[in-house]
Structures are given as C-alpha cells and as structure tokens.
Amino acid sequence: MRCYIAALIRGNTMRGRLIATLAVFSFLLTFAMSGGAAQAQSVEHFTQNVALKSGESSELGEIWYAINCKSMLKETPQVEIMDGPPGVTAVINPAKVLPRASGCARPIDGGKLVIAAKDVQEYSHTRMVLRINYKTLSGDRSRSSNINITLFPTN
C-alpha cells in the first residue's frame, strides 16, 4: 500500500493526491480507533484459573523487575496473600528467569511464583488476591494479581 501511495503522489495529479490523502487519513483513523500507542502498559493485569487437589502445588509464573534487560532487584520479591482460601500458601522461589515480554535474550535474577494447597477438606472455588512486593534499586514497588482457585479434597 505504501508503494501505491508513493506512486500516486509522484504522479503529481490532483486525483492521485486526493486518493493518497484519503488512504493516509483512513490508516490514521484505523490506528486511532484501535488505541494505537496509547495502550502501553507497565503492569499486566490478568486473572489465572488454577485447580489444585489437597497436597498439590502449581507454578504460576516468573516474577522479575527489569529495565533494558537488566534486573533492578536488590533481593528476591516477596508475595503476600491479601485474600484467599485457608490452607493455601504462596511463595516466590529465587530463580534465573527470561523476561521474554521485554524481548530479553539472557536470563536475569528473579523468581518463580508457586502456590500450594494443604489439607483441603471440601470442594471450594474462590478468588485469591496476591500482592507481590519488589525491593528495587529505584525503591520499593508492588503489584497485585488475582487468581481464581478451585480446590478439591483427595478421597
């Protein structure tokens, strides 16, 4: 399409310029309607669904804080359960992680978030709210994450 627009502009005709202008306007309107660059987010908000039986654990994901593919962490992040079912624990184990979302090619210091269910007595489905606290070179940071968790007793 770009070559077509360039050819129309070089044709130096009024009709060519009008078509090129309309094409560019159409592209810009489509870009603006899709949100364009204004949709940039520094924190990804999502909800995960997890099902655990009594005694099981699940690794939910990698935790990291980086700028230009360099870890800004002073220590392994900590997780705090703000709300959730009894008998469920959460921990961040230190690990080298690869922040693919930032386009990094080498692993950096970070951790892996793991939740575990202990001694589940009856079936339940609830939302768990976690807060992850980071100690970074530029100060303390935190973010929260919601997890829909379904617990099953072992029979």
Q: What is the pLDDT of residues 47-71, one digit of tens each?
A: 789 999 999 999 999 999 999 999 9
**Bridge partners, residue 152, by sequence:** 53
Domain count along the chain = 2
Same domain for 17 and 92, yes or no, is no
The range of the structural domain enclosing residue 114 comes to 47-152
Same domain for 101 and 140, yes or no, is yes
Handedness of CA 122, 127, 133, 134 (dihedral sign): positive
**What is the CATH number for 79?**
2.60.40
C-alpha dist (Å) from residue 51 to 44, 58, 79, 123 = 22, 9, 20, 11
Same domain for 98 and 133, yes or no, is yes
Q: Does the predicted TM-score (pTM) go above 0.85? A: no
Q: Cα(147)–Cα(54) distance, rounded to whole angstroms? A: 17
Q: What is the pLDDT of residues 68-86, one digit of tens each?
A: 999 999 999 999 999 999 9
Q: By the 8 A CB rule, do 53 and 117 touch?
A: yes
User: Residue 102: pLDDT above 80?
Assistant: yes
Same domain for 103 and 135, yes or no, is yes
User: Residue 9: pLDDT above 80?
Assistant: no
